[in-house]
């Protein structure tokens, strides 16, 4: 009987229509007319296939069962005795996280795989990488049991992502026995990434991860994936079913209502179709005690009333019907009949029915009913029911070829960056640092357009995998230890417009395909063994005298030009002396804008300074250098004139340092130098005028300045960070500002941030040393404590100061307040973090108008910048990326949909009470 049932199911599948529903039945068609000999042959063949089908299903083929937190050196894999499932350590599927165990009182009640856990104190996004079968539906189930493993009794809350898309939120508050998240999903590639994303101050955890490939053509949707709402079998038993009762390891929860009557059978029930529900689930059923009443299951989804549902109904007639008895009923969804033909369950055979398209409920109130027809003598019967909500994953994954290429590059150079997990490009707030990607709509796979591995400690040859990034526009490999020749394939990447290879040990010659490319910027300085294109080899066929004559002629012309220029310059008045910046140095900063005209810095006489300021009439500021006056140049261009007072704590050394720096740098987020005065005792710097004052004024509201909102603060922080990043990696030699604070961040008419006051700036070496010893200088409160104690100045000193600035922008608290119990701002914020309430830290002047996720992320970034140990602080490049992603989050103000773990109906919500704890039956 099973053989014939499976044969017909194999032939017809679940595509036979019954009204608006599909039918997956083992008994389709009325008659089979075959020759006896053919039938016997077919029986043998199909019998073999059935046995193979069952053996494959029972063998856990394709199953992934990860015991998260199980140390790799412990017994792995092992067979869990209660279920017979084979579990392995998750250590080879993820490179981050630490391991822990639930407390002993809970551990004794759990199956072994759920008593251990992996937690993730570092990074925002941590991801598992799993192999799957493209185009096939997979059951994906994750278990989370906190079990107070850390002894602090603070249940975590975090987000779960499937690839680049949010799946659900895991909130373990009040979930003593833990929770699970389950979904049916069809991967679009042969890999799957499941990511835990930190959203607050608690630490994400995971106990177990289970992947099960499903039967062909099962759980298919019009669009999206299926998120488990509930899965029940109707019985008075208290047991739940899973593997090996269910060959796909679905979990079936026992459910029964008091107005039902329980029926069951000891006979074998055929269960072979595309869904293969457990035989034990089909051997039991419920019917209404009052035979004239419908069988009703109701639930309410008030959190997500617009959810769409797919409902799978499993029927098998398990009662002996007399000759005059009939069981026939209609399925009704919120008062609407679901199919044009009534259901007649088949004797001891599975009948699975499901909707072709999703259904919705009125205001989140759902009612599924089975109502007997007029000619039926028996009440309706239901064996098992599965209900899923539709979840859309609209964001396309990064182009698979780009993903493979960047992972090969990562492997080639042994890169171990904490945020190089999950999808490289999306979502934007988690994009890998050092990358930029094309901004396309969500339905188009993003492409990697920029790769910046400058100063990343790369060794060996230029990775061949780079050629597979076929949409690459910018490539920066500067300041590494790369060797070998410049590969020809770089010239074949047609999209490349910028290549920076400077500061390596490359050799050979530049390929002609690069030298002849129109519009390509190629930087290669600092490679002493690399042949420059400016020095062509001696052309063949030319005699030695000809070369000598040509060289002498060129030298003579050059001498004449120099003499003419000298005579011309001597005729110029001293007051019109022009100071030219030094020749362009090795450019290593890939985001440096290209100025169209070389800026000329003028030296002004003191008389002209007095004239431009109208005898210093309007004082707009004052600092350690002296007063700052408003002025105009050429009658229209507004400037700020900083005058060195005789009593200033800063002197000519600082004055010269600022002139020297600003003569050779230019960046949109640095205040530009218009000119200077150096006449006897009169020293002055003439800057572009920045009309909106400094950031400190806009945080305090003093002087009538407006209070900037959270989004503007994030943008200002990102722009200031860009200015510092340029000083650190865009200048040659690199520079340390040494006095980063809110009063040195100025705002123009559009509130664009511009770093100012470079009098204390110092260059620092590159290569083996990352610091320089110097006399301690800076502003108390902002001063790097490590620099203060060691006198060793480096770029991380600026990072510390910037972290303090960021804490100011977040909290609007004084950096040092002797009236506070915790006088320094880092101490105060640290004490407030213990409460876990960011509202107590955020500036009350923001009135709660901010995205909490971006606020938490900015706060964590600020605290990492202000770490007392410089080695633990991020680089400014990392800070820029983090702040940009905070800004994206704040601007989007996304409200991520929250998943449901249970039904709100009192009679149905009990379904999950026993399911949450993965215990033995």
d(CA 92, CA 114): 18
Across the range 833-858, mean pLDDT stands at: 88
d(CA 125, CA 166): 12
**pTM for this one?**
0.59
Which CB contacts under 8 angstroms, 24+ apart, belong to 841-849? 841/810, 841/811, 842/810, 842/811, 843/699, 843/810, 843/811, 843/812, 844/812, 845/701, 845/707, 845/812, 846/709, 846/710, 849/709, 849/710
**pLDDT score of 292:** 95
Say if residue 68's pLDDT is above 70: yes
- Cα–Cα distance between 783 and 699 in angstroms, integer? 21
Mean pLDDT, rounded, for 862-867 = 94
What is the token pair recorded at 683? 């020293």
Pair 670, 688: CB distance under 8 Å: no
Q: Is the pLDDT of residue 834 over 90?
A: no
Which range is least confidently modeled, 39-48, 71-80, 253-262?
39-48
Give the pLDDT confidence score for residue 612 in this predicted structure: 92
More confidently predicted of 278 and 820: 278
Average pLDDT over residues 53-67: 73
Cβ-contact 417, 875 below 8 angstroms: no
Write down the pLDDT at residue 58. Answer: 56
Averaged over 843-859, what is the pLDDT? Answer: 90
**Residue 534 predicted with pLDDT over 70:** no
pLDDT for 532 equals 63
Q: What is the structure's pLDDT at 791?
A: 79
Three-state SS sequence of 343-390: ECCCECECEEEEECCCEECECCEEEEEEEECCCCCECCCECEEEEEEE
Q: Given this model, what pLDDT does residue 775 score?
A: 53
Q: What is the pLDDT of residues 615-630, one digit of tens each?
A: 888 888 776 667 788 9
Q: Express each pLDDT in 185-198 by its tens digit.
A: 999 899 999 999 99
The yes-or-no verdict on residue 682 having pLDDT over 90 is no
Q: Name 261's bridge partners.
A: 287
Domains present along the chain, CATH in parentheses: 2-58+229-391 (no CATH), 64-224 (2.60.120.430), 400-531 (3.80.10.10), 601-688 (3.30.200.20), 695-892 (1.10.510.10)
Residue 750 pLDDT grade (very low, low, confident, very high; cuts 50, 70, 90): confident
Known catalytic residue at 769: no
Residues in the chain: 921
Question: For residue 440, what pLDDT is reported?
Answer: 65
Give the separation between CA 286 and CA 370, rounded to whole angstroms. 11
Which H/E stretch holds residue 909? helix 906-909
Indicate which residue of 21, 90, 280, 739 is catalytic.
Answer: 739
**By the 8 A CB rule, do 523 and 476 touch?**
no
Among residues 277, 272, 271, 349, which one has the least CA distance to residue 317? 349
Confidence of residue 24 (pLDDT cuts 50, 70, 90): very low
From CA 837, how far away is CA 619, in angstroms rounded? Answer: 43
Looking at residue 584, its pLDDT comes to 32
Helix or strand holding residue 751 (H, E): none
- Joined together, the tokens standing for residue 191 give 């890999």
Considering only CA atoms, which of 78, 175, 108, 253 is closest in space to residue 919?
108
Predicted local confidence at residue 733, as pLDDT: 72
The residue to which tokens 């088949």 are assigned:
346
CA distances 169 to 158, 164, 190, 199, 570, Å, are 6, 15, 25, 10, 75
Across 373-386, average pLDDT = 97
Do 124 and 78 form a contact (C-beta atoms < 8 A)? no
CA nearest 674: which of 580, 601, 755, 598?
601
Q: Are 227 and 248 in contact (CB under 8 A)?
A: no
The mean pLDDT value of the chain amounts to 81
Lowest mean pLDDT among 190-204, 663-677, 791-805: 663-677
Q: What is the C-alpha to C-alpha distance for residues 870 and 880, in angstroms, rounded to an integer?
A: 18
Q: pLDDT at position 901, please?
A: 37
- Identify the weakest region by mean pLDDT among 314-323, 551-560, 674-683, 758-767: 551-560
pLDDT of amino acid 625: 67
Mean pLDDT, range 435-454, rounded to an integer = 87
The two three-digit tokens of residue 89, written as one number = 């350590």
Residue 175: count other Cβ atoms within 10 Å of its Cβ.
Answer: 16
pLDDT at residue 558 above 90?
no
Asked whether the predicted pLDDT for residue 835 surpasses 70, the reply is: yes
Is the Cβ–Cβ distance between 422 and 164 less than 8 Å?
A: yes
Which pLDDT tens digit goes with each residue over 879-921? Answer: 998 998 888 888 875 433 333 333 333 333 333 333 344 443 3
Of the candidates 252, 253, 357, which has an alpha carbon nearest to the alpha carbon of residue 311?
A: 357
**Overall average pLDDT of the 728-753 stretch:** 87
Distances (CA, A) of 465 to 362, 402, 454, 487: 54, 9, 17, 11
Q: Would the pLDDT of 673 be above 70?
A: yes
Least confident of 288-297, 323-332, 631-640: 631-640
Q: What tens digit of pLDDT does each residue of 585-612 get?
A: 333 333 333 332 233 457 889 889 989 9
What is residue 315's predicted lDDT score, i.e. its pLDDT?
98
Q: What is the pLDDT of residue 684?
A: 86
Q: Phi, psi at residue 364, to the nearest 5°?
A: 80, 5
- Whether the ω angle into residue 77 lies within 30 degrees of 0, i.e. cis, is yes
* pLDDT tens for each residue of 100-157: 999 988 888 899 999 999 999 999 999 999 999 999 999 999 999 999 999 999 999 9
pLDDT-derived band at 277 (thresholds 50, 70, 90) equals very high
DSSP one-letter code for 729: I
The answer to whether the annotation marks 752 as part of a ligand binding site is no
pLDDT at 27 over 70: no
């Amino acid at each position: 009987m099973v053989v014939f049932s499976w044969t017909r199911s194999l032939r017809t599948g679940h595509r036979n229509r019954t009204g608006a529903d599909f039918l997956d039945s083992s008994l389709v068609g009325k008659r089979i007319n075959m020759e006896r000999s053919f039938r016997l042959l077919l029986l043998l063949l199909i019998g073999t296939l059935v046995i193979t089908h069952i053996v494959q299903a029972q063998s856990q083929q394709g199953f992934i069962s990860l015991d998260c937190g199980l140390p790799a050196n412990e017994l792995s894999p092992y067979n869990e005795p209660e279920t017979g499932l084979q579990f392995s350590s998750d250590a080879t599927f993820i490179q981050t996280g630490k391991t822990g165990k639930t407390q002993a009182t809970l551990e004794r009640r759990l199956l072994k795989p759920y008593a251990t856990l992996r937690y993730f104190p570092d990074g925002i996004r941590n991801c598992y990488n799993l192999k799957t079968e493209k185009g096939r539906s997979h059951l994906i189930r994750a278990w989370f049991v906190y079990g107070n493993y850390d002894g602090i009794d603070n249940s975590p809350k975090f987000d779960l992502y499937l690839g680049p898309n949010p799946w659900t939120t895991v909130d373990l508050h009040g979930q003593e026995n833990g929770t699970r998240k389950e979904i049916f999903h069809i991967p679009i590639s042969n890999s799957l990434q499941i990511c835990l994303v930190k959203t607050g101050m608690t630490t994400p955890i995971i106990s177990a991860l289970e992947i099960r490939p499903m039967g062909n053509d099962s759980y298919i949707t019009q669009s999206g994936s299926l998120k488990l709402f509930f899965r029940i079998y109707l019985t008075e038993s208290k047991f739940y079913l899973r593997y090996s009762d269910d060959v796909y390891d679905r979990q079936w929860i026992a459910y029964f209502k008091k107005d039902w009557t329980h029926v069951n059978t000891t006979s074998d029930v055929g269960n072979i179709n595309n869904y293969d529900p457990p035989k034990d689930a089909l051997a039991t059923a419920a019917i209404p005690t009052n035979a004239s009443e419908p069988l009703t299951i109701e639930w309410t989804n008030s959190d997500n009333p617009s959810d769409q549902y797919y409902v799978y109904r499993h029927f098998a007639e398990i009662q002996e019907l007399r000759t005059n008895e009939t069981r026939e009923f209609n399925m009704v969804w919120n008062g609407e009949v679901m199919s044009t033909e009534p259901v007649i369950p088949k004797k001891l055979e599975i009948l699975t029915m499901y909707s072709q398209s999703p259904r919705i409920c009125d205001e989140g109130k759902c009612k599924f009913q089975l109502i007997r027809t007029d000619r039926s003598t028996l009440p309706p019967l239901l064996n098992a029911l599965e209900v899923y909500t539709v979840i859309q994953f609209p964001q396309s994954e990064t182009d698979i070829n780009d993903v493979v290429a960047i992972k090969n590059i990562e492997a080639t150079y042994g890169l171990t960056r904490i945020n190089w997990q999950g999808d490289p490009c999306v979502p934007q707030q988690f994009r890998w640092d050092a990358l930029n990607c094309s901004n396309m709509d969500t339905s188009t796979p993003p492409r990697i357009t920029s790769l910046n591995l400058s100063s990343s400690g790369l060794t060996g040859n230029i990775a061949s995998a780079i050629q597979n990034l076929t949409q690459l526009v910018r490539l920066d490999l500067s300041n590494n230890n790369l060797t070998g020749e410049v590969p020809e394939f770089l010239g074949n990447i047609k999209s490349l417009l910028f290549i920076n290879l400077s500061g390596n040990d490359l050799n050979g010659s530049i390929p002609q395909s690069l030298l002849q490319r129109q519009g390509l910027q190629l930087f290669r300085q600092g490679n002493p063994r690399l042949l420059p294109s400016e020095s062509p080899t001696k052309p063949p066929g030319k005699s030695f005298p000809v070369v000598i004559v040509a060289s002498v002629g060129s030298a003579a012309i050059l001498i004449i030009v120099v003499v003419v220029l000298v005579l011309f310059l001597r005729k110029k008045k001293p007051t019109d002396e022009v100071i030219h910046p030094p020749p362009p140095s090795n450019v290593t900063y890939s985001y440096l804008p290209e100025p169209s005209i070389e800026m000329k810095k003028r030296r002004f006489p003191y008389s002209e300074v007095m004239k431009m300021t109208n005898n210093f009439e309007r004082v707009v500021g004052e600092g350690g250098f002296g007063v700052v006056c408003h002025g105009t140049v050429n009658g229209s261009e507004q400037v700020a004139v900083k005058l060195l007072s005789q009593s200033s704590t800063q002197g000519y050394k600082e004055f010269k340092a600022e002139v020297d720096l600003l003569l050779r740098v230019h960046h949109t987020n640095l205040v530009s130098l218009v000119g200077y005065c150096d006449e006897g005792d009169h020293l002055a710097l003439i800057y572009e005028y920045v009309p909106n004052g400094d950031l400190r004024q806009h945080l305090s509201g003093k002087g009538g300045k407006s209070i900037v909102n959270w989004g503007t603060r994030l943008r200002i922080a990102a722009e200031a960070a860009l200015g510092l990043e340029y000083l650190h990696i865009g200048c040659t030699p690199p520079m340390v500002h040494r006095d980063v604070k809110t009063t040195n961040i100025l705002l123009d008419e559009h509130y664009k941030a511009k770093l100012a006051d470079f009098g204390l700036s110092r260059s620092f070496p590159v290569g083996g040393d990352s610091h320089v010893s110097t006399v301690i200088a800076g502003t108390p409160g902002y001063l790097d404590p490590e620099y203060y104690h060691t006198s060793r100045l480096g770029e991380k000193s600026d990072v510390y100061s910037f972290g303090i600035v960021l804490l100011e922008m977040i909290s609007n608290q004084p950096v040092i307040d002797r009236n506070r119990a915790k006088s320094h701002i880092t101490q105060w914020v640290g004490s407030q973090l213990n409460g876990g309430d960011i509202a107590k830290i955020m500036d009350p002047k923001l009135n709660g108008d901010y995205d909490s996720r971006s606020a938490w992320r900015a706060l964590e970034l600020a605290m990492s910048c202000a770490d007392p140990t410089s080695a633990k602080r991020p680089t400014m490049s990392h800070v820029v990326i983090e702040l940009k992603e905070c800004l994206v989050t704040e601007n989007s103000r996304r409200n991520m949909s929250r998943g449901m773990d249970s039904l709100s109906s009192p009679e149905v919500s009990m379904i999950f009470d026993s399911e949450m704890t993965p215990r033995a039956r």
